[in-house]
Structure 1
Amino acid sequence: MLKPYISKEDAKIWDGSSNISGKPGVQQRTRDIERKGIIAEIALDFNTVKATAGYNYESADMNIYSENYWINSDGSLSYRGYGVLATTGTTYVNSPYLKVAGTIDKFNWQAGIKYFKFKDSASEGYRTIFVGGNPVLTRAPYLDRKAETYDIWLPTAGVSYTFNENIEAYLSYGRNYIRPYAYMPILNLYNRLYNQFVAAGIPISDLFKNRDIEQSDNIDIGLRFRKDFIEVNPTIFLSRHKNLLTTITDPRVIDPSTGKPVNYQQNIGKAKGYGFEIGTTVFASDWLTFYLNPTFNHLTYDGNITYSGKTLSTDGKQVVDVPKWTVVTGLIAKYKDFEIIPQMRYLGKRYGDCEHKEEIPSYAVFDLKLNYVKEKVGMLKALKISLEFDNIFNKKYVSVINAMDDAVSNTTYGVGAPFTMRGSVSFAF
């Protein structure tokens, strides 16, 4: 198999700003990214053993920057130069992988390995200065970043055993990753406090020294059981995480707008966790099904976080934006060609900072989905009409905790979607 691909992103994002050259303004962020790549794969079947080998190559041309504007009294905008020239140049991904799997009677097994290598491009720094009141783009070596290469090995393995048609047990291990991200918050912060960072002798390259690939090692132990009218899938999971992108406080630089040390992110967090999930489905009748999926996730920081002489009390505290409890439950009722699905989604208490000073309460929202499915309608093989009602009681809640936006010094929070209705129509010839 050969799978070439190309994607193009041309996004312009407008944000309000309280201080553009001393006045209220807006900032336009531009993301101009073009990705080109190919996946080459070969599959081999030796009856009892199957093997797959492949290679993924990708290059990405990226231009990411922000521009500032004053808001004039008549509502018009005046250009005030670049805010940040963030990422320019070409990045590369090289990732070979191999997977083998087999079956011996009731015993199934698989193992795999993947190598991921990401080469980030160098970037020259520029700042806007004002000459005669006009913005002029000038070189700023303190904003230069060197090219960096990040790599990681990603092993996986799993076994399962089928005792009979009703019971199967399994054990799996896998390593996951997230490549370095969230560059703009640091660049925005550095540009806003450029003079303070330079006075402290801190080039922006120092803030990227601890950037690395986030890594997690995960083990799942589970059982699948189905008998008559009930199906249960209990799973116990264990995990260890390192290089978590964590907000830290740097006492070397004081933000004059707050009088406090600055906050930004570094890949220095460690965490460990355990938990369980119990997926349960009860087939009450031919027309009524009940499902309940509770999950408990105890994911805590592994030790206090220390950076540049500042220690945060994080040992044993739940990781930012990770609830201990989540629950999804509902009913599926069918009548002829109609399907009605009422559902409840519950998300437990979370925290917006690693020291648990900002507590976000739990919430539950209720949804309703209506489906109409009809086979052989005229020239169509099938027709499906869906209507969804989300958050039908218009619950007010915090949906997203953004603990990575350090263009400001505090965590920001996203408002949960209000009552929403949407519909869709799909068909097959």
Structure 2
Amino acid sequence: MKLSPLVLSLAACAVLTADPLGIERIIVSDAADDGTSMISDSNISGSNQTFSAKSIATLSTQANMNPYSVIAYSPSVNFTPVDQAGSNEPSYHDPIRIRGKSQSGPGGVYMIDGMPISSNPGGGKQLLDMENVSSIDLLKGYLPADKNLGFSSLIGKVDMNLLSARSRAGAEVSQSFGSDDFMRTFVRLDSGKIGDVAIFGSFSHLSSDKNKGSGDLTRLNGTLGLTYTPNNAFKAKITAIRNSDDHHNYYNLSYDEAKDLGSNFTKDFATAKPTVSNDVDYYDWNKQHFLTTALLGEFEYRPTSSDTLTIKPYYKKDEGDYWFSKFDTAAAKQRVMDWRMEHDLYGATAAYDHEFSEALKAEIGYWYHKQLPPGPPSDQIKYKVVNGNLVFDGYAVLSDNDYHILQAPFAQISGTLDHFNYVAGAQLQSFKLGALESHTFGNQTGAANPDYNAAIDSTAIDPWASVDAKTFHTFIPSLYLGYAFTPSTTAYIDYSRTYGFDVNLFPTYISNRDTFKAKNVTLQQLWDKLDLELSDNIDVGVKTTIGGLTLNPSLFVSFVQNKQANIYDPSFGVNYPANVGDALGYGAEFSAYGPINEQLELLLGLSYNRYQFTQDFKSGATTTVDTDGKQLPDAPKYMAKAALSYHIGDWTLTPSARYSSSRYGDVANTQKVDAYTLVDFDLTYRMAQFMSSRNALFRLTATNLTNEKYISTINAADNFLAATGTASTYQSGAPFGLFGSINLKF
């Protein structure tokens, strides 16, 4: 086992204990004693939930880098990572579904302090260490106008609230270790307030072997934050993040392999380098490395007690490579692909709030967002295998893509009147898809140089596969209405429209260019028919508190239009992804959370979800795929999850379990995956004055106690039909794991 991170953390402890610092109470580690619940309802409406520092400390995995691992205990949230670290795999999409829906296009689910900083594909999916997060807002029902941001909002948002620089000096050091040579070191230093400025800096290093096959994971993360508060009227916050993610991918099972998990649960890529030409099954040709830089700002000015002006600029740059093997039944067509990515996004929100009275608060604002593809891809290189070596074989995709630009003025009013609480808002959104200039020319590589700029300069633009920019103009309303029958019981109804866009048309056309050209169909003709996917969502529910326990039953429905499906179009005589689908989602949720008594706290989530197309689709001139009423892929109908924390003295015992019913891997529901139940156990012991620290927390965590063999993620797009030849793939989940950690606060 590597000891360098452990030595580093102990050395940091020695330095810190040499001159003890005055420290304020640190919420994340002291959460078990602060009297708060795992879930807080402050500033959250309807079925949405805020996971407090206590839930982050209790439910976050030993990796402490993925917010989805915490919100996985909410009803209707389906997130089961492929490994114990909680890494998002693969790179090209977020493996999370909320109420059956998956995120569309190059949009990301999470935000930081209300800023839509995430995107797909690429890196930066674990930008924050959870020790630097004060709480997590899960917005899966009602989505207010000032949070309905990013390239896509179809399934809702996960908003991480940063733990800013503290006003008093302090430090935190933690060290974790466990199964598969897992090792993580985290250090955070707070300067305390020095004049008008407070600064914090943190560093984390995580390494782990894969839990099956060959390969490993390494993550480095550095965060620097500054807060400037010269007076009560002005506050500025700036955060810089540098993240490196370097890991090998896990093998994707076919459906036949997934049906026999007893034999294939540990199947992975070959460890030995192949010696046969065109054999692409090798672990070191299936990996990814991304380097991500993010800058976030928040500037708040309060000229009066009733007025607030807030400006939030953000920027992210992401660059790296996603290597994957492209298997084919014909060995001559098997290739190793290098999807090279270098893109950025930036934007800002500006909002002005005025409080006329308790009954009327108004907000007006403007949002601007600009991001560069991939999404769709622009730079994918092919390599063929000759005598075990990779040989450049041209481009699978070579294009010059313009920025996507989204912008929207928004307005919102809210207030409380007698027993009523309301929020009404709207956006008028402009959504511009950037123009694409293709240089691929189908099977003709068109370039003999693996350098992207040289390849672009040396090849002509393909008029068949190039398109102009396209803009959608959309009205996006939202409304929340609550009525308090008593101080502890509120009924509510809410409505919000969410949006998204899949970018599958361009790569589909490139892969089948010869077929489209033979039919005299240009990409521009199909591009002109694209439309924005919209979902109108309604929630009805009740929240009531009995003792310390909050109960929240609710019903929900979503009416989805323009959902993309890969259909046969008789007017062109070809198959392609088109926005012609209507879908319906509906279900019921029940959550219960809070202390049962002084020693026992419960977190429970139950859900029933239906998400389905409401029509069949033509897959050929004379064939139809039966999709009407069929559950969409990787969307379990039933889920149940529960965590129970028992506090006895300085000990806390937390058993937890998550159940998922059977799922399907295709929209025709012919590929069924079995149900599973995962059981975890967490044991913590709190000690004061250990190694001169103010507080020490020792933790032992066992994951998948029963060593359940299950499918974690199904890689299946909602819009591709089995009849079109697009096969779903399946990733087996993580086996039993045992992990320990020590966390010291000074």
**TM-score band w.r.t. shorter chain:** 0.7 to 0.9
| SS in structure 1 of the partner of residue 401 of structure 2 | strand
Instruction: Give 1:34 deviation, angstroms.
Output: 1.0
CA distance in 1, matches of 2:446, 2:642: 62
2:488 alignment partner in structure 1: 166
Instruction: Please show how residues 203-282 of structure 1 align to structure 2 within 5 Å.
Output: 203-228=522-547, 230-248=549-567, 265-281=577-593
Q: What is the letter of the counterpart of residue 479 of structure 2?
A: A
Give a deviation string over 1:388-415, Cα, whole Å, max 9, x none: 4332323222222222397962222233
Q: Per the alignment, do residues 24 and 351 of structure 1 end up closer, same or farther by CA in structure 2, a change over 3 Å counting?
A: closer
CA distance in 2, matches of 1:139, 1:154: 37
2:429 alignment partner in structure 1: 116
Give the aligned length.
418
1:151 alignment partner in structure 2: 473
Instruction: Give 1:345 deviation, angstroms.
Output: 0.9
Deviates more, 1:62-71 or 1:141-150: 62-71
Instruction: Give 1:326 deviation, angstroms.
Output: 1.0
Q: What is the letter of the counterpart of residue 144 of structure 1?
A: S
1:181 alignment partner in structure 2: 502
| SS in structure 1 of the partner of residue 464 of structure 2 | helix
Instruction: Give 1:246 deviation, angstroms.
Output: 2.8
From 172, 175, 199, give the equivalent of 2:518. 199
| SS in structure 2 of the partner of residue 196 of structure 1 | helix
Instruction: Give 1:209 deviation, angstroms.
Output: 4.1
1:2 alignment partner in structure 2: 311
From 640, 645, 655, give the equivalent of 1:332. 645
1:287 alignment partner in structure 2: 599
CA distance in 1, matches of 2:694, 2:476: 43
2:326 alignment partner in structure 1: 17
Q: Per the alignment, do residues 426 and 51 of structure 1 end up closer, same or farther by CA in structure 2, a change over 3 Å counting?
A: farther
1:258 alignment partner in structure 2: none
Q: Per the alignment, do residues 87 and 346 of structure 1 end up closer, same or farther by CA in structure 2, a change over 3 Å counting?
A: farther
Task: State whether structure 2 residue 732 is matched by structure 1 residue 415.
Answer: yes
Q: What is the letter of the counterpart of residue 201 of structure 1?
A: N
| SS in structure 2 of the partner of residue 62 of structure 1 | coil
Task: State whether structure 2 residue 407 is matched by structure 1 residue 94.
Answer: yes
Q: Per the alignment, do residues 188 and 26 of structure 1 end up closer, same or farther by CA in structure 2, a change over 3 Å counting?
A: farther
Is the 1:14–1:28 Cα contact (8 Å) retained in structure 2?
A: yes
1:302 alignment partner in structure 2: 614
1:69 alignment partner in structure 2: 383
From 668, 671, 682, give the equivalent of 1:355. 668
Instruction: Give 1:134 deviation, angstroms.
Output: 8.9
| SS in structure 2 of the partner of residue 163 of structure 1 | strand
| SS in structure 1 of the partner of residue 531 of structure 2 | coil
Q: Per the alignment, do residues 112 and 14 of structure 1 end up closer, same or farther by CA in structure 2, a change over 3 Å counting?
A: same
Q: What is the letter of the counterpart of residue 157 of structure 1?
A: L
Is the 1:383–1:428 Cα contact (8 Å) retained in structure 2?
A: yes
Q: What is the letter of the counterpart of residue 66 of structure 1?
A: Q
Deviates more, 1:362-371 or 1:141-150: 362-371
CA distance in 1, matches of 2:677, 2:498: 30
CA distance in 2, matches of 1:387, 1:209: 56
| SS in structure 1 of the partner of residue 587 of structure 2 | strand
Deviates more, 1:369-378 or 1:165-174: 369-378
2:361 alignment partner in structure 1: 50
| SS in structure 2 of the partner of residue 139 of structure 1 | coil
CA distance in 1, matches of 2:381, 2:655: 46
CA distance in 2, matches of 1:301, 1:47: 45
Q: What is the letter of the counterpart of residue 6 of structure 1?
A: Y
2:258 alignment partner in structure 1: none
Give a deviation string over 1:194-250, Cα, whole Å, max 9, x none: 322221222233443443322111111111122236432111112211122334356
2:243 alignment partner in structure 1: none
Is the 1:171–1:222 Cα contact (8 Å) retained in structure 2?
A: yes
Q: Per the alignment, do residues 265 and 366 of structure 1 end up closer, same or farther by CA in structure 2, a change over 3 Å counting?
A: farther
Is the 1:81–1:137 Cα contact (8 Å) retained in structure 2?
A: no
| SS in structure 2 of the partner of residue 127 of structure 1 | coil
Instruction: Give 1:372 deviation, angstroms.
Output: 4.5
1:392 alignment partner in structure 2: 705
2:32 alignment partner in structure 1: none
CA distance in 2, matches of 1:242, 1:320: 18
Q: What is the letter of the counterpart of residue 11 of structure 1?
A: G
Q: Per the alignment, do residues 109 and 247 of structure 1 end up closer, same or farther by CA in structure 2, a change over 3 Å counting?
A: same
Q: Per the alignment, do residues 252 and 210 of structure 1 end up closer, same or farther by CA in structure 2, a change over 3 Å counting?
A: closer
| SS in structure 2 of the partner of residue 205 of structure 1 | helix
Q: Per the alignment, do residues 40 and 388 of structure 1 end up closer, same or farther by CA in structure 2, a change over 3 Å counting?
A: farther
Is the 1:247–1:403 Cα contact (8 Å) retained in structure 2?
A: no
Is the 2:394–2:448 Cα contact (8 Å) retained in structure 1?
A: no
Q: What is the letter of the counterpart of residue 385 of structure 2?
A: I
Instruction: Give 1:32 deviation, angstroms.
Output: 1.4
1:314 alignment partner in structure 2: 627
Instruction: Give 1:266 deviation, angstroms.
Output: 2.8
CA distance in 2, matches of 1:131, 1:155: 47
CA distance in 2, matches of 1:37, 1:133: 37
Q: What is the letter of the counterpart of residue 289 of structure 1?
A: E
Deviates more, 1:363-372 or 1:118-127: 363-372
CA distance in 2, matches of 1:374, 1:87: 58
CA distance in 2, matches of 1:132, 1:196: 22
Q: Per the alignment, do residues 2 and 421 of structure 1 end up closer, same or farther by CA in structure 2, a change over 3 Å counting?
A: farther
| SS in structure 2 of the partner of residue 145 of structure 1 | coil
CA distance in 1, matches of 2:430, 2:738: 43
Q: Per the alignment, do residues 361 and 53 of structure 1 end up closer, same or farther by CA in structure 2, a change over 3 Å counting?
A: same
Q: What is the letter of the counterpart of residue 412 of structure 2?
A: K
Is the 2:606–2:640 Cα contact (8 Å) retained in structure 1?
A: yes
Instruction: Give 1:420 deviation, angstroms.
Output: 4.2
CA distance in 2, matches of 1:203, 1:413: 34
Give a deviation string over 1:339-368, Cα, whole Å, max 9, x none: 222111111222222222222222211122
Q: What is the letter of the counterpart of residue 12 of structure 1?
A: D
CA distance in 2, matches of 1:131, 1:51: 56
Instruction: Give 1:166 deviation, angstroms.
Output: 2.7
Identity of matched residues, % = 28
CA distance in 2, matches of 1:115, 1:425: 50
More strand by share: 1
CA distance in 1, matches of 2:527, 2:731: 27
Q: What is the letter of the counterpart of residue 181 of structure 1?
A: D
Give a deviation string over 1:168-187, Cα, whole Å, max 9, x none: 21111111112x2343xx44
Give a deviation string over 1:122-150, Cα, whole Å, max 9, x none: 11111263699999744322111221112
CA distance in 2, matches of 1:248, 1:22: 29
Q: Per the alignment, do residues 379 and 52 of structure 1 end up closer, same or farther by CA in structure 2, a change over 3 Å counting?
A: farther
CA distance in 2, matches of 1:93, 1:381: 48
Is the 1:5–1:37 Cα contact (8 Å) retained in structure 2?
A: yes
Q: What is the letter of the counterpart of residue 419 of structure 1?
A: F
Is the 1:271–1:319 Cα contact (8 Å) retained in structure 2?
A: no
| SS in structure 2 of the partner of residue 34 of structure 1 | strand
TM-score (normalised: structure 2)? 0.51
1:82 alignment partner in structure 2: 395
- Cα-Cα RMSD: 3.3
TM-score (normalised: structure 1)? 0.85
| SS in structure 2 of the partner of residue 198 of structure 1 | helix
Q: What is the letter of the counterpart of residue 533 of structure 2?
A: E
Task: State whether structure 2 residue 339 is matched by structure 1 residue 29.
Answer: yes
